[in-house]
Amino acid sequence: MRGHYKIMSQYIQDTIVAQITPVGEGAVGILRLSGPESVLILEKIFQGSILPRQFESHKLYYGSFVDPSSKKILDQVLAVVMKAPKSFTGEDVVEIHMHGGTYLLTKALTILQSLGARLAQAGEFSKRAFLNNKMDLTSAEAIADVIKAQSEKELENALVQMGGFVSKTINNIRHKLIEVQSLIEAGFDFSEEDIQFINRDQGLQFLYDIQSELNGLADSFQTGQLYRHGLKIALVGKPNVGKSSLLNALLKENKAIIHHLPGTTRDVIEGEKKINGIRIHFLDTAGLRKTEDPIEQEGIFRTQEKMNKADLVCLLLDSSQPLTEEDHRLLGQLNALRPIIIYSKADLPPAWSPSLLSSFEVLPLSSKTGQGLNELEQLIYQKGVQCLAPTHSNYVLNNVRYYEHILDVIKNINKIIYLISKDSLTEECLAEECRIISDKLGEITGEITSEDILDSIFSKFCIGK
């Protein structure tokens, strides 16, 4: 049993309702009820060929939504009953599929609340599913990640987590710790006979194996953050070197204004695209030059800020104009950032050769003809992922809560290994440390947790999920 079931009674006693389709006008809107009174409430508003209590579970039935107070038909609907425990929440669940008008859905929700349903809190359906053992905490959190996913990699990762990869991995480690703990404690009963169920070297090997597995998960966190947040790429250079043209070419849309007059871009313009399943945020920045224009100065200041926060910097140098003192100054300033040097306007007659910058990686590119665009995208992807730790599974850690728990556990294991190696840890203390670590891991999956933690996690979900 999980360590939070005292709070279940309040959920079993009431029935909740929410709109589970996005708010706003649409072709269809769906209202969901969950709880012991769900079917009874449906019977009070549904008029069809049979009573909802006679519905076959998980089958749609056509009928009318009738306002009990006025006896007027509100809408023609489809209703489905999903009987406990074979439902998302593990409770009796009802869904009402109706037309998606904002006023219509609001009125229907008001009627359902007047019949005894309580408006669901954010994430409350998923919370009930967790409390009713329909899923563990990591799978419940993965639902929110699936909904919020904005790239192929992020979605794939969330689906693996929703399938139980994290909980299986953590539970396997917990079982190893419990096994070590039980072997140590078994020796307490035979201490006078000098029978040893696990020796020092075996205990250390158990801990080394667990340490290695957890380190692998922790090391994948940086990749997980890349999947979740993507890469920020700053396009920088002097005015009129083709930064805005490049942004438009990469995005295949007229995102930025293009003009032959320098200084057209005065603020940072952002655009996003996916490269190999990774979100790439491109930042078109103000041209870097000395100016007395206060508005342009502010744009240049913001450019400097974005450069410092970017994961990669692309410095554009105009191939059709001779290199200037300002170009060389920018090269020196950005050298430590290892920028990608873009030999822009490569479709025009060149005024200088890329060989002049032999110490840099220079990529000829023309936003007008498309030359070099694919090569730039792949170079950005390669540079973005080359510093990441290799992953040995199809899942990477991207949840800060898991990461912090795992780091704490690794720290505890390192301490235990050190103390064992120094013969400074009694068997009783070792058994207790194994229990503490096991409980800490149990907080990840929800085997051991508190109401405050659950509230914090599920409050981040959307209403209706």
Residue 347 pLDDT > 90: yes
Residue 366 domain flag: yes
Residue 291's pLDDT is 55
Could you say which of 358, 387, 416 is where a domain stops?
Answer: 387
Determine the Cα–Cα distance for residues 204 and 184; give it in Å rounded to an integer. Answer: 13
Tokens standing for residue 304: 């400097």
Residue 47's pLDDT is 97
| Per-residue CA distances from 150 to 210, 227, 279, 464 (Å) | 33, 9, 8, 20
Could you say which of 333, 368, 387 is where a domain stops?
Answer: 387
- pLDDT band with cut points at 50, 70 and 90 for residue 260: low
Residue 352 domain flag: yes
Q: Report which of residues 139 and 461 the model is more confident about.
A: 139
159, 111: one domain:
no
Residue 465 domain flag: no
Residue 425's pLDDT is 72
Residue 304 pLDDT > 80: no
Residue 127 pLDDT > 80: yes
- Containing H/E element for 264? none
10 Å CB burial of residue 27 (0-12, 13-18, 19+) is exposed
Q: What is the DSSP string of 58-101?
A: T-EEEEEEE-TTT--EEEEEEEEEE-TTSSSSSS-EEEEEEEE-
Total number of residues shown for the chain: 465
Bridge partners of 269?
284
106, 166: one domain:
no
216, 248: one domain:
no
CATH number, domain of 319, equals 3.40.50.300
241, 195: one domain:
no
240, 379: one domain:
yes
Determine the Cα–Cα distance for residues 336 and 247; give it in Å rounded to an integer. Answer: 24
Q: Does 85 sit behind a cis peptide bond, omega within 30 degrees of 0 on the bond before it?
A: yes
Residue 463 domain flag: no
- pLDDT band with cut points at 50, 70 and 90 for residue 92: very high
Contact 242, 318 (CB under 8 A): yes
Query: Average pLDDT, whole number, for the chain?
Result: 85
370, 242: one domain:
yes
- Domain encompassing residue 48: 1-134
Coil vs helix vs strand at 56 = coil
Residue 143 domain flag: no
Coil vs helix vs strand at 213 = helix
In three-state form (DSSP H/G/I as H, E/B as E, the rest C), the secondary structure along 266-325 is: CCCEEEEEEECCEEEEEEECCCCCCCCCHHHHHHHHHHHHHHHHCCEEEEEEECCCCCCH
4, 126: one domain:
yes
Residue 145 domain flag: no
* Residues 6 or more apart in contact with residue 175 via CB below 8 angstroms: none
Contact 39, 59 (CB under 8 A): no
HSE value, Cβ hemisphere, 13 Å, CA-based, for 190:
10
Number of compact structural domains in the chain: 3
> Among the listed ranges 70-79, 232-241, 314-323, which one has the minimum average pLDDT value?
232-241
Tens of pLDDT, residues 355-392? 888 888 899 999 999 999 999 999 999 988 776 656 65
Rg (CA), the chain: 30
Strongest mean pLDDT among 15-19, 262-266, 314-318: 15-19
Determine the Cα–Cα distance for residues 448 and 444; give it in Å rounded to an integer. Answer: 8
Residue 43's pLDDT is 97
Q: What percent of the chain has pLDDT over 70?
A: 84
Ordered strands of the 340-344 beta sheet: 269-275, 278-284, 231-237, 312-318, 340-344, 362-364
199, 239: one domain:
no
CATH number, domain of 26, equals 3.30.1360.120
Determine the Cα–Cα distance for residues 97 and 164; give it in Å rounded to an integer. Answer: 30
Could you say which of 90, 106, 134 is where a domain stops?
Answer: 134
* Residues 6 or more apart in contact with residue 189 via CB below 8 angstroms: none
Tokens standing for residue 175: 């079982």
Determine the Cα–Cα distance for residues 60 and 312; give it in Å rounded to an integer. Answer: 52
Tens of pLDDT, residues 147-184? 888 888 889 999 999 998 999 999 999 888 888 777 77
Phi, psi (5° rounding) for residue 315? -95, 120
Contact 169, 146 (CB under 8 A): no
Average pLDDT for residues 85-98, to the nearest whole number?
Answer: 96
| Per-residue CA distances from 304 to 300, 323, 334 (Å) | 6, 21, 11
Q: Report which of residues 176 and 96 the model is more confident about.
A: 96
Q: For strand 73-82 and strand 60-66, is the pairing parallel, antiparallel, or unpaired? A: antiparallel
The residue whose two tokens read 């669901």 is 120
206, 330: one domain:
no
pTM of the complete model beyond 0.85? no
- Containing H/E element for 120? none
Tokens standing for residue 164: 């139980």
10 Å CB burial of residue 80 (0-12, 13-18, 19+) is buried
Q: Report which of residues 333 and 399 the model is more confident about.
A: 399
Tokens standing for residue 61: 């039935």
Residue 215's pLDDT is 92
Residue 9's pLDDT is 44
